[in-house]
Amino acid sequence: MEYRIEHDSMGEMQIPADRYWGAQTERSRQNFPIGVGIETMPAEIIKAFGILKAAAAAANHTLKPEKMTDAKLAAICAAAKEVTDGALDGHFPLVVWQTGSGTQSNMNSNEVIANRGNEIAGAKLLHPNDDVNMSQSSNDTFPTAMHIAAVTALEDKLLPAIQALIDTFDRLEKENADAVKTGRTHLQDAVPITFGEEVSGWKNSLEKDMELIRYAMKPLTELALGGTAVGTGLNAPAGFDSLVAEEVSKLTGKTFVTAENKYHALTSKDELVFAHGAVKATACDMMKIANDVRWLSSGPRAGLGEIFIPENEPGSSIMPGKVNPTQCEQVTMVAVQVMGNDAAVGIAASQGNFELNVFMPVLIYNFLQSVRLLAESIAAFNERCASGITANREKMKEYMNRSLMTVTALNPYIGYENAAKVAKKAHKENISLREACTELGFLTEDKFDEIYHPEKMV
């Protein structure tokens, strides 16, 4: 392999000749051989760095044009766009398990943009610290990248996936508005419900989750950039924080503002904890929905069998013809991962000491994994399971007619205790509620037939 020599404040380093990173990135690459190639800094963070570096250069060009010249701005923006577009992903090798401030990933961005920018310009215009990192610190850039990445992932990935599943459930609700079935509480028979009503519960859970996510996103639109090292804004010109937030908004098409208190923005990660809580709530609802679907589709002959779901692949290496609810299983496993990630996010956020939190890479790694996994999981479940659900109306009718809890319809006529006697007699002797009620002398057959209509109990 061919190398070139680059230097930083600690001396010279050999860098692979075909890579744009510099000495500080290489030191980190050598000092943290932990999860290499597997747990690298999330692509969403790298993209966010490209956005914020271009935004910072634009703000500096306005406020300090004598230092951020037209040529430097053009070179930084061109290289930063390549970072944002993913064209330079191979030049960001650093792992999550590095310095807790994300300093080395900030420098990775500075070095790559400087070297690529110089290449584009055909001249050595840019210095990683003096130009690309102008008016910034790792302590305010990494929190800013976290918020940009979080908002983008939630808005562009998770919310559309949830909405698509809501649309599917809305269709199923309408199609099954007249499919009467037995309800179930405590895994025991309950009074009747329509399958459409059951699906409406799933749908509204996800609608509530979307409301929670949107509510939790608003605090994430506040950016730490402009606080520099400890929140004072040292070495950043007046107005830089507000202007750079405007520039980030232009580049992303989303509304971002500067954080009112930079001391809070650097050290507290409560906004991310709150937002991940909404993500976890969605995972909890998806766990419930997926479990309902696999219970209702269980069988085909020894289960509930009230709904049919798509048969996607063989389910057993030994039992021919077996098909399993695999999409439900992937959803429940993803939900478990998100719930576990929530613990990591919360613990990491609790570790802010004085003017900085130094658990930021692990926090955003888990946050973004949750959002990415949940979005992809919901999309797969919708496409390969939910969209193909059909009701087994014959089975639903059979269960409803056999259910003892429809005896609840008799309460106004014979009272709770007498109705309980009817249900117990019918269950013990394996006879119908009609037979039990008339044998006990509580109602005549004609009166029973007049008032007993389970389909009207929904």
DSSP, residue by residue, 198-238: HHHHHHHHHHHHHHHHHHHHHHHTEE-TT-TTTSS-TTS-T
CA dist., res. 361 & res. 45, Å (int): 10
* Residue pair 207/163 in contact by the 8 Å Cβ criterion: no
pLDDT mean by block of 10 residues, the chain; 458 residues: 94 97 97 97 98 98 98 98 98 98 98 98 98 98 98 98 98 98 96 97 98 98 98 98 98 98 98 98 98 97 97 92 96 98 98 96 98 98 98 96 93 97 97 96 96 90
The residue type of 128 is P
Q: Is 3 left (phi over 0), alpha (psi -120 to 50) or beta?
A: beta
Neighbouring-strand partners of residue 357: 352
Neighbouring-strand partners of residue 407: none
Nearest to 115 by CA among 154, 148, 153, 80: 80
pLDDT digits (tens, 9 = 90+) for 351-393: 989 999 999 999 999 999 999 999 999 999 999 999 999 999 9
* Residue pair 209/165 in contact by the 8 Å Cβ criterion: no
Looking at residue 1, its pLDDT comes to 87
- Token reading at 380: 């797969």
The residue annotated as part of the active site, out of 316, 350, 427, 453, is 316
Looking at residue 455, its pLDDT comes to 86
Looking at residue 29, its pLDDT comes to 97
DSSP 8-class letter at 137: -
Per DSSP (E only), the strands in 266-374 are: 307-308, 352-353, 356-357
Q: 306 to each of 193, 195, 199, 370, 389, how far by Cα in Å?
A: 13, 9, 13, 32, 10
Work out the widest C-alpha separation in the chain, in whole angstroms: 101
* Residue pair 136/225 in contact by the 8 Å Cβ criterion: yes
Looking at residue 95, its pLDDT comes to 98
* Residue pair 205/287 in contact by the 8 Å Cβ criterion: no
The SS3 assignment for 161 reads helix
The residue annotated as part of the active site, out of 7, 105, 186, 297, is 186
pLDDT digits (tens, 9 = 90+) for 211-241: 999 999 999 999 999 999 999 999 999 999 9
Find the angle CA(314)-CA(319)-CA(324) to the nearest 5 degrees.
40
The residue written with tokens 């994994």 in the block is: 369
* Residue pair 364/42 in contact by the 8 Å Cβ criterion: yes
DSSP 8-class letter at 129: I
Nearest to 272 by CA among 157, 378, 365, 387: 365
Looking at residue 284, its pLDDT comes to 98
**Is 316 among the residues known to form the active site?**
yes
- Token reading at 298: 């269980």
- Token reading at 74: 């053009």
Looking at residue 168, its pLDDT comes to 98
Torsion of Cα atoms, 344 then 350 then 356 then 359, to 10°: -20
Residue 380's φ and ψ, nearest 5 degrees, are: -65, -40
State which H helix or E strand residue 80 sits in.
helix 70-85
Domains and CATH numbers, the chain: 3-7+17-134 (1.10.275.10), 145-183+193-233+261-394 (1.20.200.10), 404-456 (1.10.40.30)
**Is 186 among the residues known to form the active site?**
yes
Q: 301 to each of 179, 182, 306, how far by Cα in Å?
A: 21, 18, 11
CA dist., res. 99 & res. 160, Å (int): 34
Peptide bond just before 160 cis, omega within 30 deg: no
CA dist., res. 405 & res. 389, Å (int): 26
The residues near 9 (Cβ < 8 Å, ≥ 6 apart) are none
CA dist., res. 136 & res. 255, Å (int): 21
